[in-house]
Amino acid sequence: MEIIVASGKGGVGKSTITASLISLLKDFSITAVDADAEAPNLHILFDVKHWEEEREIISAHTAFIMDSCINCGLCDDVCVYEAIYTENGAHRIKEYLCEGCGACKAVCPANAITIKPSRSGWIRTALTPYGLLVSAELDVGKPNSGKLVTEEKKIAREWVNSKKAEHIIVDSAAGIGCQVIASMSGADLALLIAEPTPSSLSDLKRAYWLAEHFRIKAYIVVNKYNLNPDFKGIENFAADKGLEILGKIPYDKTVPKAIASMKPVVEFAPDSKAALEIKNLADSVEQFL
Protein backbone atom coordinates (compact mmCIF):
# COMPACT_ATOMS: atom_id res chain seq x y z
CA MET A 1 0.00 0.00 0.00
CA GLU A 2 1.09 3.55 -0.73
CA ILE A 3 -0.15 6.18 1.72
CA ILE A 4 0.34 9.92 1.29
CA VAL A 5 0.23 12.34 4.22
CA ALA A 6 -0.81 15.68 2.74
CA SER A 7 -2.45 19.01 3.45
CA GLY A 8 -3.08 22.18 1.55
CA LYS A 9 -1.44 24.29 4.24
CA GLY A 10 2.12 24.21 5.53
CA GLY A 11 3.04 23.88 9.18
CA VAL A 12 0.09 21.71 10.19
CA GLY A 13 2.27 18.81 11.39
CA LYS A 14 2.56 16.45 8.40
CA SER A 15 6.17 15.50 9.07
CA THR A 16 5.60 15.16 12.81
CA ILE A 17 2.70 12.77 12.25
CA THR A 18 4.44 10.90 9.42
CA ALA A 19 7.58 10.26 11.47
CA SER A 20 5.57 8.96 14.42
CA LEU A 21 3.40 6.72 12.22
CA ILE A 22 6.46 5.18 10.59
CA SER A 23 8.05 4.66 14.01
CA LEU A 24 4.94 2.89 15.32
CA LEU A 25 4.45 0.82 12.14
CA LYS A 26 8.07 -0.15 11.50
CA ASP A 27 7.21 -3.85 11.83
CA PHE A 28 5.34 -3.50 8.54
CA SER A 29 8.56 -2.81 6.60
CA ILE A 30 7.80 0.69 5.36
CA THR A 31 9.81 2.85 2.98
CA ALA A 32 9.48 6.55 3.81
CA VAL A 33 9.53 9.19 1.09
CA ASP A 34 10.13 12.84 1.99
CA ALA A 35 8.38 14.45 -0.97
CA ASP A 36 9.03 18.07 -0.02
CA ALA A 37 12.02 18.63 -2.28
CA GLU A 38 12.10 22.36 -1.55
CA ALA A 39 12.31 21.92 2.23
CA PRO A 40 12.96 18.28 3.22
CA ASN A 41 12.88 17.65 6.96
CA LEU A 42 11.94 14.03 7.62
CA HIS A 43 15.64 13.13 7.91
CA ILE A 44 15.88 15.55 10.84
CA LEU A 45 13.23 13.68 12.81
CA PHE A 46 14.97 10.40 11.98
CA ASP A 47 18.34 11.87 13.00
CA VAL A 48 19.99 10.81 9.74
CA LYS A 49 23.73 11.51 9.92
CA HIS A 50 24.85 9.47 6.91
CA TRP A 51 23.37 9.03 3.44
CA GLU A 52 23.92 5.66 1.81
CA GLU A 53 23.65 7.18 -1.66
CA GLU A 54 23.47 10.68 -3.13
CA ARG A 55 22.62 11.09 -6.80
CA GLU A 56 22.38 14.24 -8.89
CA ILE A 57 19.27 14.72 -11.01
CA ILE A 58 19.89 16.49 -14.32
CA SER A 59 16.55 17.81 -15.55
CA ALA A 60 16.89 21.60 -15.72
CA HIS A 61 18.48 23.80 -18.40
CA THR A 62 20.81 26.78 -18.06
CA ALA A 63 22.20 29.26 -20.57
CA PHE A 64 25.97 29.64 -20.97
CA ILE A 65 27.76 32.57 -22.64
CA MET A 66 30.81 31.60 -24.68
CA ASP A 67 34.01 33.53 -25.34
CA SER A 68 32.74 34.59 -28.77
CA CYS A 69 30.29 36.99 -27.07
CA ILE A 70 30.49 40.51 -28.55
CA ASN A 71 28.83 42.09 -25.49
CA CYS A 72 26.01 43.68 -27.46
CA GLY A 73 23.65 43.40 -24.47
CA LEU A 74 20.65 42.07 -26.40
CA CYS A 75 20.52 39.01 -24.15
CA ASP A 76 20.27 41.22 -21.08
CA ASP A 77 17.42 43.17 -22.69
CA VAL A 78 15.24 40.09 -23.26
CA CYS A 79 15.94 38.15 -20.05
CA VAL A 80 12.80 38.49 -17.93
CA TYR A 81 14.47 36.58 -15.07
CA GLU A 82 17.26 39.17 -14.69
CA ALA A 83 19.75 36.32 -14.87
CA ILE A 84 22.30 38.20 -16.99
CA TYR A 85 24.74 40.71 -15.53
CA THR A 86 27.93 42.49 -16.58
CA GLU A 87 31.28 41.85 -14.93
CA ASN A 88 34.41 43.67 -16.09
CA GLY A 89 32.66 44.59 -19.31
CA ALA A 90 31.64 40.99 -20.09
CA HIS A 91 28.18 39.48 -19.85
CA ARG A 92 27.69 36.58 -17.45
CA ILE A 93 24.84 34.26 -16.37
CA LYS A 94 23.50 33.92 -12.83
CA GLU A 95 22.81 30.19 -12.98
CA TYR A 96 20.48 30.21 -9.97
CA LEU A 97 18.16 32.67 -11.75
CA CYS A 98 18.34 31.25 -15.27
CA GLU A 99 15.32 29.17 -16.35
CA GLY A 100 16.93 28.00 -19.60
CA CYS A 101 14.08 29.48 -21.67
CA GLY A 102 16.39 30.23 -24.61
CA ALA A 103 15.29 33.83 -25.26
CA CYS A 104 18.87 35.05 -24.96
CA LYS A 105 20.09 32.42 -27.41
CA ALA A 106 17.37 33.40 -29.89
CA VAL A 107 18.44 37.07 -30.07
CA CYS A 108 22.22 36.59 -29.89
CA PRO A 109 23.70 37.83 -33.20
CA ALA A 110 27.04 36.08 -32.55
CA ASN A 111 25.57 32.65 -31.68
CA ALA A 112 27.59 32.92 -28.48
CA ILE A 113 24.95 31.45 -26.16
CA THR A 114 24.20 27.76 -25.70
CA ILE A 115 21.57 26.04 -23.56
CA LYS A 116 22.87 23.05 -21.61
CA PRO A 117 21.28 20.55 -19.22
CA SER A 118 21.96 21.36 -15.58
CA ARG A 119 21.39 19.87 -12.16
CA SER A 120 17.96 20.25 -10.60
CA GLY A 121 18.87 18.70 -7.28
CA TRP A 122 19.76 15.49 -5.48
CA ILE A 123 18.10 12.24 -4.51
CA ARG A 124 19.38 10.76 -1.26
CA THR A 125 18.71 7.45 0.45
CA ALA A 126 19.44 6.42 4.01
CA LEU A 127 18.91 3.24 6.00
CA THR A 128 17.26 4.22 9.28
CA PRO A 129 16.04 2.14 12.24
CA TYR A 130 12.58 2.49 10.67
CA GLY A 131 13.52 1.36 7.17
CA LEU A 132 14.64 3.06 3.98
CA LEU A 133 14.25 6.85 3.73
CA VAL A 134 14.23 8.44 0.30
CA SER A 135 14.70 12.20 0.32
CA ALA A 136 15.27 14.88 -2.30
CA GLU A 137 16.60 18.40 -2.24
CA LEU A 138 16.04 20.94 -4.98
CA ASP A 139 19.04 23.03 -6.00
CA VAL A 140 18.84 26.78 -5.42
CA GLY A 141 16.49 28.47 -7.88
CA LYS A 142 15.87 25.31 -9.91
CA PRO A 143 12.53 24.05 -11.25
CA ASN A 144 11.26 20.48 -11.64
CA SER A 145 10.56 19.66 -7.99
CA GLY A 146 7.81 17.35 -9.24
CA LYS A 147 10.32 15.36 -11.27
CA LEU A 148 12.46 14.87 -8.18
CA VAL A 149 9.47 13.52 -6.26
CA THR A 150 8.65 11.18 -9.15
CA GLU A 151 12.21 9.84 -9.02
CA GLU A 152 11.95 9.39 -5.26
CA LYS A 153 8.79 7.34 -5.55
CA LYS A 154 10.34 5.29 -8.33
CA ILE A 155 13.16 4.27 -5.96
CA ALA A 156 10.68 3.45 -3.17
CA ARG A 157 8.56 1.35 -5.51
CA GLU A 158 11.63 -0.55 -6.68
CA TRP A 159 12.26 -1.51 -3.06
CA VAL A 160 8.70 -2.77 -2.75
CA ASN A 161 8.90 -4.66 -6.06
CA SER A 162 12.14 -6.31 -4.95
CA LYS A 163 10.52 -7.35 -1.64
CA LYS A 164 12.87 -5.16 0.41
CA ALA A 165 9.84 -3.30 1.76
CA GLU A 166 6.09 -3.86 1.89
CA HIS A 167 4.56 -0.39 1.98
CA ILE A 168 5.32 3.26 1.21
CA ILE A 169 4.40 6.30 3.27
CA VAL A 170 4.90 9.65 1.53
CA ASP A 171 5.39 12.88 3.50
CA SER A 172 4.05 15.38 0.98
CA ALA A 173 4.87 19.05 0.54
CA ALA A 174 2.29 21.69 1.38
CA GLY A 175 -0.11 23.05 -1.22
CA ILE A 176 -1.36 21.38 -4.40
CA GLY A 177 1.56 22.13 -6.76
CA CYS A 178 3.84 19.90 -8.82
CA GLN A 179 5.37 18.13 -5.81
CA VAL A 180 1.98 17.22 -4.34
CA ILE A 181 0.61 16.09 -7.70
CA ALA A 182 3.64 13.81 -8.10
CA SER A 183 3.18 12.59 -4.51
CA MET A 184 -0.46 11.67 -4.98
CA SER A 185 -0.05 10.01 -8.35
CA GLY A 186 -0.46 6.27 -7.83
CA ALA A 187 -1.23 6.47 -4.09
CA ASP A 188 -3.87 4.23 -2.51
CA LEU A 189 -4.90 6.33 0.46
CA ALA A 190 -4.50 9.93 1.64
CA LEU A 191 -4.33 11.22 5.20
CA LEU A 192 -5.24 14.91 4.98
CA ILE A 193 -3.91 16.87 7.94
CA ALA A 194 -5.66 20.08 8.98
CA GLU A 195 -5.75 22.59 11.81
CA PRO A 196 -9.01 24.03 13.20
CA THR A 197 -8.75 27.35 11.35
CA PRO A 198 -10.56 28.83 8.33
CA SER A 199 -7.32 29.09 6.31
CA SER A 200 -6.43 25.45 6.97
CA LEU A 201 -9.96 24.37 6.05
CA SER A 202 -9.73 26.29 2.78
CA ASP A 203 -6.47 24.54 1.88
CA LEU A 204 -7.80 21.19 3.11
CA LYS A 205 -10.59 21.46 0.55
CA ARG A 206 -8.04 21.98 -2.23
CA ALA A 207 -6.04 18.94 -1.11
CA TYR A 208 -9.25 16.90 -0.96
CA TRP A 209 -10.22 17.93 -4.50
CA LEU A 210 -6.78 16.84 -5.70
CA ALA A 211 -7.21 13.46 -4.00
CA GLU A 212 -10.63 13.20 -5.63
CA HIS A 213 -9.04 13.89 -9.01
CA PHE A 214 -6.70 10.93 -8.53
CA ARG A 215 -9.57 8.84 -7.08
CA ILE A 216 -7.71 8.34 -3.81
CA LYS A 217 -9.63 7.39 -0.69
CA ALA A 218 -9.13 10.27 1.76
CA TYR A 219 -9.35 10.55 5.53
CA ILE A 220 -8.99 13.63 7.71
CA VAL A 221 -6.75 14.10 10.73
CA VAL A 222 -7.26 17.25 12.81
CA ASN A 223 -4.02 18.37 14.46
CA LYS A 224 -3.92 20.81 17.42
CA TYR A 225 -7.69 20.46 17.55
CA ASN A 226 -7.95 21.94 21.06
CA LEU A 227 -6.49 25.32 20.06
CA ASN A 228 -9.81 26.36 18.54
CA PRO A 229 -12.49 24.01 19.91
CA ASP A 230 -15.39 26.21 18.78
CA PHE A 231 -14.41 25.95 15.11
CA LYS A 232 -16.63 23.33 13.46
CA GLY A 233 -15.72 23.98 9.83
CA ILE A 234 -13.69 20.78 9.39
CA GLU A 235 -16.40 18.61 10.97
CA ASN A 236 -19.03 20.21 8.76
CA PHE A 237 -16.92 19.72 5.64
CA ALA A 238 -16.25 16.08 6.55
CA ALA A 239 -19.95 15.44 7.11
CA ASP A 240 -20.86 17.13 3.82
CA LYS A 241 -18.38 15.01 1.84
CA GLY A 242 -18.87 11.80 3.78
CA LEU A 243 -15.27 11.82 5.01
CA GLU A 244 -14.16 10.06 8.17
CA ILE A 245 -12.13 12.04 10.70
CA LEU A 246 -9.58 9.40 11.59
CA GLY A 247 -7.97 11.23 14.48
CA LYS A 248 -7.89 14.40 16.57
CA ILE A 249 -4.48 15.21 17.98
CA PRO A 250 -4.20 17.86 20.71
CA TYR A 251 -1.66 20.64 20.82
CA ASP A 252 1.19 19.40 23.00
CA LYS A 253 4.29 21.33 24.09
CA THR A 254 6.34 18.13 23.98
CA VAL A 255 6.10 18.05 20.17
CA PRO A 256 8.54 20.95 19.50
CA LYS A 257 10.83 19.48 22.14
CA ALA A 258 10.78 16.15 20.28
CA ILE A 259 11.59 17.91 17.02
CA ALA A 260 14.50 19.71 18.67
CA SER A 261 15.73 16.32 19.96
CA MET A 262 15.41 14.87 16.42
CA LYS A 263 13.03 12.13 17.49
CA PRO A 264 9.43 11.20 16.68
CA VAL A 265 7.23 12.40 19.54
CA VAL A 266 5.97 8.85 20.17
CA GLU A 267 9.54 7.93 21.13
CA PHE A 268 10.53 11.17 22.84
CA ALA A 269 7.43 11.30 25.05
CA PRO A 270 5.39 8.12 24.53
CA ASP A 271 2.91 9.00 27.28
CA SER A 272 2.27 12.56 26.10
CA LYS A 273 -1.23 13.52 24.97
CA ALA A 274 -0.15 13.94 21.35
CA ALA A 275 1.72 10.62 21.30
CA LEU A 276 -1.27 8.71 22.70
CA GLU A 277 -3.59 10.09 20.03
CA ILE A 278 -1.06 9.37 17.28
CA LYS A 279 -0.93 5.78 18.56
CA ASN A 280 -4.70 5.56 18.10
CA LEU A 281 -4.25 6.92 14.57
CA ALA A 282 -1.55 4.31 13.92
CA ASP A 283 -3.95 1.58 15.00
CA SER A 284 -6.37 2.71 12.27
CA VAL A 285 -3.59 2.90 9.67
CA GLU A 286 -2.48 -0.58 10.72
CA GLN A 287 -5.88 -1.90 9.71
CA PHE A 288 -5.41 -0.44 6.24
CA LEU A 289 -1.99 -2.06 5.93
Instruction: Give dist(CA 34, CA 136) in Å, integer.
Output: 7
CATH topology of domain 67-111: Alpha-Beta Plaits (3.30.70)
Q: In whole numbers, what is the pLDDT of the chain averaged over residues?
A: 94
**Assigned fold of 2-57+121-288:** Rossmann fold (3.40.50)
Cα dihedral angle (96, 100, 102, 103), rounded to 10 degrees?
-40
Report whether 92 contacts 85 (CB < 8 A).
yes
pLDDT per residue as tens digits for the range 78-103: 999 999 999 998 999 999 899 899 99
Q: Give the residue from 49, 51, 52, 44 showing the smallest Cα distance to 264.
A: 44
Helices (H) and strands (E) in the chain, counts: 11, 11
At 84 the three-state DSSP class reads strand
- Inter-helix orientation angle 273-288/14-24, to 10°: 70
- pLDDT tens column, 50-86: 999 999 998 889 999 999 999 999 999 999 999 999 9
Cα 199 from Cα 135, distance rounded (Å): 28
Residues paired with residue 66 on neighbouring β-strands, in sequence order: none
Per-residue confidence at 141, pLDDT binned at 50, 70, 90? confident
Specify whether the CB–CB gap between 173 and 180 falls below 8 A: yes
Cβ neighbours of residue 133 under 8 Å, at least 6 residues apart?
Answer: 31, 32, 33, 34, 42, 43, 46, 48, 125, 126, 127
Q: How far is residue 154 from each of residues 53, 141, 151, 158, 215, measured CA to CA in Å?
A: 15, 24, 5, 6, 20
Query: 53-65 and 113-128 as β-strands: parallel, antiparallel, unpaired?
Result: antiparallel
Whether the predicted model's global pTM rises above the 0.85 cut: yes
Q: How many CB atoms lie within 10 A of CB 34?
A: 28
In the chain, where the domains are located: 2-57+121-288, 67-111
Residue 9 reports pLDDT greater than 90? no
Average pLDDT rounded to a whole number, residues 199-224: 96
Report the relative pairing of strands 53-65 and 84-87 from DSSP bridges.
Answer: unpaired
DSSP annotation of 11: T
Asked if 111 and 71 touch (Cβ cutoff 8 Å), the reply is no
pLDDT at residue 183 tops 80: yes
